[in-house]
Amino acid sequence: MPDKKGNHSEIPDGVSRRSFLKGMGTGAAILPALGKTVEAADLENRFGPEPAPITLTINEKIYHLQVEPRETLIEVLRNRLNITGTKVVCDNGSCGACTVYLDGAPVYGCMMLAVKAQNKQITTIEGISQNGKLHPVQEAFIEADALQCGFCTPGFVMSMAKVFEENPKASLIEVKQGLAGHICRCGAYAQIFKAAENVSKRNGG
């Protein structure tokens, strides 16, 4: 599983510049990305252009499927796997509707090729509730009526959940920074921030 906060590849400190530039002594000093399940050497390293077999780990389940390299992660989730909680709006990396976690970090599923999501833990909106119980951020959205059409909601929930995972008592400014990659065309911002305020308060913030 990805860790709570880090979820990015580790970069070793204190490597001297010379050995770095010469690319010497690499292997041992490199830490693999957290949550990586397959050794780099095992990577099937060529795909397509016709559909090619890939393996994705989504909400802790493993899927084997055939995709073309040009298929984005969001297309594969929605159209091939019928995991449709995550929405597509702009399909252009500007609105945040398609936000999923990759090794715990929010990314735009519409700007990522599905082949690149292999060997990573993918979490979608379906994966953030636990044992059929909604995530506290989802509860807060319902309570504050933080949506109209609801298309932006799964994305907003993912990013807001991440903000509170990193700081349970996050301030409004931190929430806004964490949600900067989202747009709500219905303009439910006031209620979305109200939901955030409620979560923060409940956590003692």
Which residues of the chain form contacts with ligand FES (CB under 6 A)? 88-91, 93-98, 108, 110, 147-152, 184-186, 188
Cα separation, 145 vs 138, whole angstroms: 10
Answer whether 104's CB lies under 8 Å from 95's CB. no
Cα separation, 124 vs 62, whole angstroms: 14
**Which token pair is 95?**
């609105």
Q: Which is nearer to ligand FES, 66 or 79 (CB)?
A: 79
Binding partner of 150, given other proteins, ligand FES, none, CB within 5-8 angstroms per partner class = ligand FES
184 binds other proteins (CB under 8 A): no
Binding partner of 57, given other proteins, ligand FES, none, CB within 5-8 angstroms per partner class = none
Q: Where are the beta strands (DSSP E) in 85-170?
A: 99-102, 105-108, 121-123
42 binds other proteins (CB under 8 A): no
Site size for other proteins (CB under 8 A): 53
- One-letter amino acid at 28 equals A
Which of 1, 3, 37, 43 forms a contact with other proteins (CB under 8 A)? 43
End-to-end C-alpha distance for the chain, whole angstroms: 28
Cα separation, 153 vs 195, whole angstroms: 12
Q: Which is nearer to other proteins, 118 or 202 (CB)?
A: 118
On the 0-12 / 13-18 / 19+ scale of CB atoms within 10 A, 100 is buried
- Chain residues in the site for other proteins (CB under 8 A): 8-9, 11-17, 20-21, 23, 26-27, 30, 40-41, 43, 45-50, 68-70, 72, 91-94, 96, 99, 102, 105-108, 111-113, 115-116, 159, 162, 176-182
